[in-house]
Amino acid sequence: MSEPERLQRILARAGVASRRAAEALITSGRVTVNGAIVQALGTRADPDRDDIRVDGAALPEPGHRVLIALHKPAGYVTTRHDERGRRTVMDLVPAIPGLHPIGRLDFDTTGLLLLTNDGELTLAITHPRHELVKTYLATVAGVPDAKALARLRAGVELEDGWTAPAEASVEERVRGGSIVRLLLHEGRKRQVKRMLAAVGHPVRQLVRISVGPLTLDGLDSGAWREVSVKEVESLRRTLRLPGRPSE
């Protein structure tokens, strides 16, 4: 039998919500313990013995593998802990044991960041062999001409070697510059910024809008959602990973 714990902690650990969001769920009367609505924040429960539900749904089983899609805002570091005490992406997602970001987005880059507690999936997604396509929209100074676009498409020489061929196009013109759509099959540090700087168009703003079949659609800045079983299956097919028996 486990020790009774504060309800908000149990909900956060089960991946239902961040600690603060869990408190809001409780105070708004959406959480029940053994059939009774509990709205007091200090309430303790035993996750092994009590029937804890949110909106009528039982908590996920411990050990359940999750994949989370986060719309990362600017001003957050992609790491589990920052020694300098800056805000990290972990502040925006539920406190699930083992949850970690897959790859990274720079402090000032926004957009789709995936997080999981499944090490196998992390390895597969970040492995260059799988060539999972990531789509970026970069607001750059100036408008890349046909020659600059051809260089991006063919591969650009950076200090750590040539980049793989990428898809590149000018999406639209904006004041003083343009928005470039770049599709990359690799994920080196600051790759988009370095590639565009190398062809004479420094990046002013960067957003990642998709990773493989997953997109930012419907996610507001700072919001997250659990990727559905169907989408995980589609991702696993894209990665050519074997299907997983349902858990």
Beta bridge partners of 191: none
CB of 74 to ligand URA, least distance (A): 10
DSSP 20-81: HHHHHHHHTT-EEETTEE---TT-EE-TTTS-EEETTEEPPPTT---EEEEEEPTT-BSSS-
What is the pattern of x (binds ligand URA, CB under 6 A) and - over residues 176-215? Answer: --------------xxxx------------x---------
Q: Which runs of E-coded beta strand occur in 110-198?
A: 110-116, 134-141, 157-158, 161-162, 167-174, 177-184
Task: Please report whether residue 135 would count as binding ligand URA according to CB under 6 A.
Answer: no
What is the pattern of x (binds ligand URA, CB under 6 A) and - over residues 95-124? Answer: ----------xx--x---------------
User: How many other CB atoms are found less than 10 A from the CB of residue 165?
Assistant: 13
- Exposure of 84 in the CB half-sphere (CA atoms within 13 A): 7
Task: Please report whether residue 125 would count as binding ligand URA according to CB under 6 A.
Answer: no
* CB closer to ligand URA out of 103 and 142: 103
Segment 12-41, which members bind ligand URA (CB under 6 A)?
Answer: none
CB of 211 to ligand URA, least distance (A): 11
Catalytic residue positions, numbered:
106
Q: Are 125 and 239 in contact (CB under 8 A)?
A: yes
Task: Please report whether residue 163 would count as binding ligand URA according to CB under 6 A.
Answer: no
Residues that bind ligand URA (CB under 6 A): 105-106, 109, 190-193, 206
